[in-house]
Amino acid sequence: MNTNVFGALVFALLLGACGPKYGEPLVGVSAPDRATSVAFSFRTAGETTAAKRIGTEQFLGQPALLVFVTTDDLVAQAQLVALARAEREMPFGVPVIAVFVVEKPQEELVPSYARTLDLPFVLAIADDETRAGGAPFSLAAVPTLVLLDGGAHVAWKNPGVAHPNDVRKQIALLKGGK
């Protein structure tokens, strides 16, 4: 069995057998309130000072996909691998930021973890409030995908695994396509 078929099989099994943590549904939900924009500022992974940050201001005027993951969860790893493969085959057309929801001791592992998985994404470390499940993202599960519109409003939030084709569909809908 070639590695692409094997990888697709593993992803399909994880998608069907493993759900998000804490019993969240495996469905994408449109944000009920797009009137309020979110504000965030995360430290980029591998940086030892707060000088390198990524946040709302870098994405105003364009959609962005935030993928909240951990380094110690097989489902989150499968999500990252599937999105990375899809990005290499046909780019999503929006910036993709892998936001690692990890405690301080694991932060130093993020760059090596990302290199091992050959991730083509911007890497960031979630702040304390995000790690605690607080605003503006109110994470209840990892992985969670959040698609922001050009005004930094949550256009789509998916707690759990999302197939790359579903992500592409949400991006196309946001950009006015079908």
* Structural domain total, the chain: 1
Helix H or strand E encompassing 54: strand 53-55
Q: What is the pLDDT of residue 72?
A: 93
Distances (CA, A) of 173 to 16, 37, 73, 177: 25, 19, 30, 5
Segments of the chain with pLDDT less than 50 = 5-6, 8-10, 12-29, 31-32
Rounded to whole angstroms, how far apart are CA atoms 152 and 31?
A: 12
Q: What is the pLDDT of residue 52?
A: 87
Q: What is the pLDDT of residue 28?
A: 47
Bridge partners of residue 147, in order along the sequence? 65, 156
Rounded to whole angstroms, how far apart are CA atoms 96 and 43?
A: 15
pTM of the model: 0.80
Q: What is the pLDDT of residue 34?
A: 60
Q: Are 63 and 148 in contact (CB under 8 A)?
A: yes
Q: For residue 91, give the 3-state DSSP assignment.
A: coil
What's 142's DSSP letter? S
Q: For residue 67, give the 3-state DSSP assignment.
A: strand
Alpha-carbon Rg for the chain, nearest whole angstrom, is 15
- How does pLDDT run across 11-41, given as a tens digit for each residue? 544 444 444 333 333 344 454 456 678 999 9
Q: For residue 42, give the 3-state DSSP assignment.
A: strand
Structure tokens at 85: 């493969």
Q: Are 162 and 15 in contact (CB under 8 A)?
A: no
Domain that holds residue 166: 3-174
Tell me, what CATH number does 19's domain have?
Answer: 3.40.30.10
